[in-house]
Chains A and B, each alone.
Chain A
Amino acid sequence: MKSFQTFVETYNYLVTVFLMVAGLYVVIARGNMIKKLIGLSLFQTSVYLLYLAPAKIDGGTAPILDAAYTVYSNPLPHVLILTAIVVGVATLALGLALVVRVHEAYGTIDEDEIFAESEEP
């Protein structure tokens, strides 16, 4: 049962790594630009999990000062991830705007098709 215990203890990290690798795979393996952006979002989500899951301290309560409690969960990673989420949203919005422009310019949003018909540098 040792391996099951290890699995439960490291479960959040396993999910993080799975999402990370799945996201990167989608970015690399798919030619459709919107799918690449979705893979990128998936990849960024795994990072949020990497920061947030360890923020919960064993036996910690909500981080509001009170005389009755001594152990609090760590609020700093939540603040960091709020920033990272906003950055991710901005990147996604910019990426989608670029995809719309590429579609207008090339008529397609598949990278392989675009490279096939593009001029040589």
Chain B
Amino acid sequence: MGLKRLGRTQDPTILVLTSLTGGPKHGYSLIQDIESMSGVTMGPGTLYGVLARLEEEGLVEALPAEDRRRPYRLTSLGAATLRERLETISNVARIGLARLRT
């Protein structure tokens, strides 16, 4: 309820990149993994919007398709970008939690 009041806090780009850190995944397994990881139910419109953007920026790359299922994997640039972003988020989270404790 409280989280809902704060609005949408999960960035779909981060969610897709984080999901791909566990290895290459195709669209449906990405959606399932993101849902189990964060509780976010992503639709195909959102997912392919994010994938198109990440592919354009060279953060992910598509692998050969099998039976209309195309897996995607994280590139080294994508891994570096994600690490940097997660460290910032983690820093903010650490500071915020520490301040809440005092």
Q: Do A and B bind each other?
A: no
Could you tell me which A residues sit within 8 Å of B by CB distance? none
Could you tell me which B residues sit within 8 Å of A by CB distance? none
